[in-house]
A = this chain, B = another copy of it.
């Protein structure tokens, strides 16, 4: 494993970002809507449009809302329906989800149900993992469920760099059973330090920036929602230079 290159998964919320990620060297895409709340299930049209434009594998986020990961019956039903819809869209490589119980443990029963429905799609258990009450128990629960290829995690901490010791512990306990894919706060300024201190098969980045809107007529006293209060004329997206910078940094370390 020691001479393997670390693969980059890039989270995107637009066709343009998906294309940019592929051009920039991404090995895989995690397709979301609403990255401002950490990513929710994209619309059907967004999935279809991205599949038409990129050749690299596309993982689709299945998350019915922002916030915590303890879902109502209705929300679980939405996840189930979205999963069934995504399966029908030929070309999707996998799905990304995570469900917890109120006590902070993995909701094994519900996750198992979704994994069954997802087959033969690949499955990533996302950063709901970082909100669990016991990361080793959560790891073993997820491995035991089966059918889940990887866990996206910031090491039970604010960012990957802060959670690095826990990530090492998870790598040790995961063995060949599941891929630990660190993600959260990975940037050009820290990727070399991360990859120098831990050997990773895969890493998850956003490599994002803000692009100016193409609107010329701008109105500043009307807002569509409070989340974007200051920047309704800025749109987030993948920055090819940032992504390539990180991929190059990773390649240098692995030489």
Contacts and interface: CB of A to CB of B under 8 A. Distances in A.
A240 interface: no
A67 B36 contact: no
Number of copies: 4
A12 to B, nearest CB: 11
A202 interface: no
A183 B90 CA distance: 39
A54 to B, nearest CB: 12
A67 B161 contact: no
Given A13-B65, A228-B37, A228-B67, A78 B222 contact: no
Most chain B C-beta atoms within 10 Å of own C-beta, residue among A40, A46, A228 = A46
A238 B76 CA distance: 19
Secondary structure of the A side of the interface?
loop
A82 B44 CA distance: 6
Interface string A176-213: 00000000010101100100000000000000000001
Interface string A51-79: 00100000000001111111010110111
A37 B78 contact: no
Nearest to A165: B193
B68 A233 contact: yes
Given A15-B74, A75-B14, A158-B159, A102 B187 contact: no
Given A36-B37, A102-B216, A15 B78 contact: yes
Nearest to A214: B70
A214 B33 CA distance: 24
Given A14-B65, A215-B102, A42 B43 contact: yes
Contact of A65 (B72, B103, B235): B235
A248 interface: no
Most chain B C-beta atoms within 10 Å of own C-beta, residue among A14, A132, A219 = A219
A230 B227 contact: no
B222 A80 contact: no
B44 A85 contact: yes
A83 interface: yes
A231 B230 contact: yes
Nearest to A216: B102
B34 A234 contact: no
Given A36-B37, A157-B190, 7 more contacts: A14-B75, A15-B77, A39-B225, A41-B46, A66-B232, A102-B217, A157-B161
